[in-house]
C-alpha cells in the first residue's frame, strides 16, 4: 500500500470512486476519524456499503435501505472483515463522512479530516485482519499528513457525541494506539 500525494489515491487497494465528495476549502488534512458500518446492519460482505457510497443502493432490497438510499455519503476508506481496503475518495478531497461535527472547538470536520469505515457494528469485535489493515493504513496516512498525530485520531462518536456512537465500545483503541506508538518508535 502506497499513497500518491499528488493524486491522493493509494496504490495496492481497491478503488471504487464515490460521487459524494468535493474540494476541501483549505486543502488541510489534520484529523483521522474512525467509523463503522454494515449494510444491512449487522450483515457483512454484502457489497451494499460500496453501493451506498456510490449512490447505487436499491431501496427495495431491504427495509432498512428505504430510509438511507437517498442519502449522499462517503468515506475515504472502507476496511472489510477480511482486511481488504477500498478507497472511495481521494485524500486530497473532502469525503462526506462526519456530518455535523466538531473537534477541538472547530466545526465541520469533513473540511480537514480523512474518514475510515470499518465493516462492523458498535458491539461486535473487529477482526485481526481489520486491525492489521487499519494500522498499516493509518501509519501511511500519518506519514503523508504529519498533522494527524495520535491525539488527532478519533471516533465518529468523539466528534458527533449524542448523534453518533461508532466505532463503538467493541473497538480496541488501546490496540490501535499501542501499534502506532511502536511503529513511531521504530522510525
Q: Which of 110, 56, 111, 45 is nearest to 81 (CA)?
A: 45
Size of the chain, expressed as the number of residues it contains: 187
> For this structure, is 184 an active site residue?
no
Candidate list 28, 105, 107, 117, residue with the active-site label: 117
Q: What does 70-135 look like in DSSP terms, one character per residue?
A: T-----SEEE-TT--EEE-S-TTEEES-S-S-EETTEE-GGGTEEEEEEES-TTSPPPHHHHHHHH
- Cβ(116)–Cβ(32) below 8 Å: yes
Q: Which of 72, 98, 76 is nearest to 8 (CA)?
A: 76
- Cβ(132)–Cβ(79) below 8 Å: no
Q: Which of 140, 136, 19 is nearest to 89 (CA)?
A: 19
Catalytic center residues = 117
Amino acid at each position: 500500500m502506497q499513497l500518491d500525494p499528488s493524486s491522493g489515491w493509494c496504490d495496492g487497494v481497491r478503488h471504487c470512486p464515490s460521487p459524494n465528495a468535493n474540494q476541501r476549502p483549505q486543502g488541510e488534512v489534520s484529523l483521522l476519524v474512525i467509523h463503522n458500518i454494515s449494510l444491512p446492519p449487522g450483515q457483512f460482505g454484502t457489497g451494499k456499503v460500496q453501493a451506498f457510497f456510490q449512490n447505487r443502493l436499491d431501496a427495495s432490497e431491504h427495509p432498512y435501505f428505504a430510509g438511507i438510499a437517498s442519502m449522499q455519503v462517503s468515506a475515504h476508506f472502507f476496511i472489510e472483515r477480511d482486511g481488504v481496503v477500498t478507497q472511495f475518495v481521494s485524500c486530497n478531497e473532502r469525503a462526506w463522512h462526519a456530518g455535523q461535527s466538531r473537534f477541538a472547538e472547530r466545526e465541520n470536520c469533513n473540511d480537514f479530516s480523512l474518514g475510515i469505515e470499518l465493516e462492523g457494528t458498535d458491539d461486535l469485535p473487529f477482526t485481526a485482519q481489520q486491525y492489521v489493515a487499519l494500522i498499516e493504513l493509518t501509519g501511511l496516512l500519518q506519514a503523508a499528513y504529519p498533522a494527524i498525530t495520535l491525539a488527532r485520531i478519533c471516533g465518529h462518536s468523539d466528534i458527533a457525541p449524542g448523534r453518533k456512537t461508532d466505532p463503538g465500545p467493541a473497538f480496541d483503541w488501546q490496540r490501535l494506539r499501542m501499534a502506532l506508538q511502536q511503529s513511531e518508535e521504530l522510525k
